[in-house]
């Protein structure tokens, strides 16, 4: 496996690979997310208790799951960067942080807009909501540390340590609905085994989830390429790439 | 099709404001993220290109200086 992975440790190879991956992920996003959103808005049934407000579910839950998934990916990348000094891992951790922050903000705002009609309040300081808010602050801290140092390696180390310490928040978010009393409902789709919902609602959810995941992947590839350019700005391949042809 | 009319669809069974707020904010934030990512990329590319121009100019000046000196030595 190492032999196979080895060429991807080369930033130039990774740059072009990320470019190709990005093109495919954009295509997949357009198809999958369109199907998911149209299904969720136009064809999925209304919930028998929550009525049409249930349609917020189709962006709230994918973004909530992704907000934690992106954090885990970022923390794994930070770990590889800290332990083995993979420069590419550091670049991908830096690329993921702003995406995670935006997805977390989407999860919080859509949750708020769902909570108002269902619970009667935009916000409560309960375990689930507060721990998700802390996740947003962790992302912001990681972004701030990445930008706090001129030296990218030093910045990556500082941000990586914060990212790793923050991993403790992930199980807290996931189990918060079981450990504490909360307005937030328990797990529906991330339960192991059978999902606790009807297939007519589960399918559009799956399309939305994978659509958002592809979108996140595409933006991650795009930002990863920028990080690679910034970290290899003196390398001949970067100079050649930026002088020979018009790059976008 | 779940809805019977466009007005029905907009109203979302009385939850229109909350549903469209959610979808609107999501689209807005994702568009902002993509625009910010593009601006970052353009900034980095401009920085590298500008530095490259400066390096090329310095090299040229050094070259000219070296030529000048060799001419003086020959004289």
In a domain, A6, yes or no: no
In a domain, A3, yes or no: no
List pLDDT tens digits, range B14-43: 888 999 999 999 999 999 999 999 999 999
- Domain parsing of chain B, residue ranges: 6-74
The phi-psi region of residue A149 (left if phi > 0; otherwise alpha if psi is between -120 and 50; otherwise beta) is beta
Rg of chain B taking only CA atoms, in angstroms: 30
A160 vs A183, more confident: A160
Rounded alpha-carbon distances, angstroms, from residue B9 to A36, A52, A90, A225, B4: 17, 10, 45, 41, 8
Q: What is the pLDDT of residue A197?
A: 76
Q: Which of A67, A106, A198 to mutate to test the interface with B (most CBs of B within 10 A)?
A: A106
Q: What is the DSSP code (8-state) at residue B1?
A: -
- 3-state helix/strand/coil string of chain A: CHHHHHHHHCHHHHHHHHHHHHHHHHHHHHHHHHHHHHHHHHHCCCECCCEHHHHHHHHHHHHHHHHHHHHHHHHHHHHHHHHHCCHHHHHHHHHHHHHHHHHHHHHHHHHHHHHHHHHCCCCCCCHHHHHHHHHHHHHHHHHHHHHHCCCHHHHHHHHHHHHHHHCCHHHHHHHHHHHCCCCCCCCCCCCCCCCCCCHHHHHHHHHHHHHHHHHHHHHHHHHHHHHHHHHCCCCHHHHHHHHHCCCC
Q: What's the gap in Å between the CA of B67 and the closest CA on chain A?
A: 26
Domain count, chain A: 1
In a domain, A126, yes or no: yes
Prediction pTM value: 0.89
- In chain B, residues with a C-beta closer than 8 Å to the C-beta of A116 are 18
Distance CA A29, CA B59 (A): 46
CB-closest option in B15, B23, B38 to A53: B15
Low-confidence winner among A178-187, A215-224, B57-66 (lowest mean pLDDT)? A178-187
In a domain, A7, yes or no: no
- In chain B, residues with a C-beta closer than 8 Å to the C-beta of A51 are 13-15
- In chain B, residues with a C-beta closer than 8 Å to the C-beta of A45 are 2
In this predicted structure, the answer to whether residue A1 has a pLDDT above a threshold of 60 is no
CB contact under 8 A, A42 and B9: yes
In a domain, A222, yes or no: yes
In a domain, A5, yes or no: no
Distance CA A97, CA A144 (A): 10
Q: What residues pair up with A47 in beta bridges, in sequence order?
A: A51
Instruction: Show the domain range for A185.
Output: 14-44+54-244
Q: In chain A, what percentage of residues exceed pLDDT 70?
A: 91
Token pair in block for residue A105: 């903000």
Q: Mean pLDDT for chain A?
A: 89
Q: What's the gap in Å between the CA of B29 and the closest CA on chain A?
A: 7
- In chain A, residues with a C-beta closer than 8 Å to the C-beta of B38 are 222
Q: What's the gap in Å between the CA of B18 and the closest CA on chain A?
A: 5
Q: What's the gap in Å between the CA of A103 and the closest CA on chain B?
A: 8
């Amino acid at each position: 496996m190492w032999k196979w992975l080895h060429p991807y440790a080369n930033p130039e190879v990774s740059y072009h690979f990320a470019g190709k991956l990005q093109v495919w992920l954009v295509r997949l996003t357009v198809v999958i997310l369109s199907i998911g959103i149209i299904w969720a808005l136009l064809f999925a049934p209304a919930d028998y208790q929550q009525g049409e407000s249930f349609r917020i579910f189709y962006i709230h839950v994918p973004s909530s799951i992704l907000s934690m998934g992106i954090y885990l990916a970022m923390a794994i990348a930070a770990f590889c960067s800290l332990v083995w000094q993979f420069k590419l891992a550091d670049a991908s951790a830096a690329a993921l942080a702003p995406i995670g922050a935006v997805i977390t903000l989407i999860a919080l705002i859509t949750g708020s807009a769902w909570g108002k009609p269902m619970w009667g309040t935009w916000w409560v300081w309960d375990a689930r909501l507060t721990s998700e808010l802390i996740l947003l602050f962790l992302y912001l801290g990681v972004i701030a540390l990445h930008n706090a140092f001129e030296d990218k390696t030093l910045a990556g180390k500082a941000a990586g340590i914060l990212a790793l310490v923050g991993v403790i928040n992930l199980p807290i978010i996931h189990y918060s609905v079981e450990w504490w009393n909360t307005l937030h409902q328990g797990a529906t789709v991330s339960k192991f085994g059978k999902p606790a919902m009807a297939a007519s609602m589960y399918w559009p959810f799956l399309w939305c989830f994978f659509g958002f995941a592809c979108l996140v992947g595409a933006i991650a590839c795009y930002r990863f390429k920028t990080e690679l350019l910034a970290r290899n700005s003196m390398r001949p391949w970067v100079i050649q790439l930026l002088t020979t042809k018009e790059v976008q | 099709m779940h809805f019977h009319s466009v007005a029905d669809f907009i109203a979302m069974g009385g939850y229109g404001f909350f549903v469209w707020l959610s979808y609107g904010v999501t689209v807005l934030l994702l568009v902002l993220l993509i625009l910010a990512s593009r601006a970052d990329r353009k900034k980095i590319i401009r920085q590298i290109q500008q530095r490259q121009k400066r390096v090329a100019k310095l090299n040229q000046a050094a070259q000219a200086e070296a030529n000048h000196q060799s001419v003086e030595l020959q004289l």
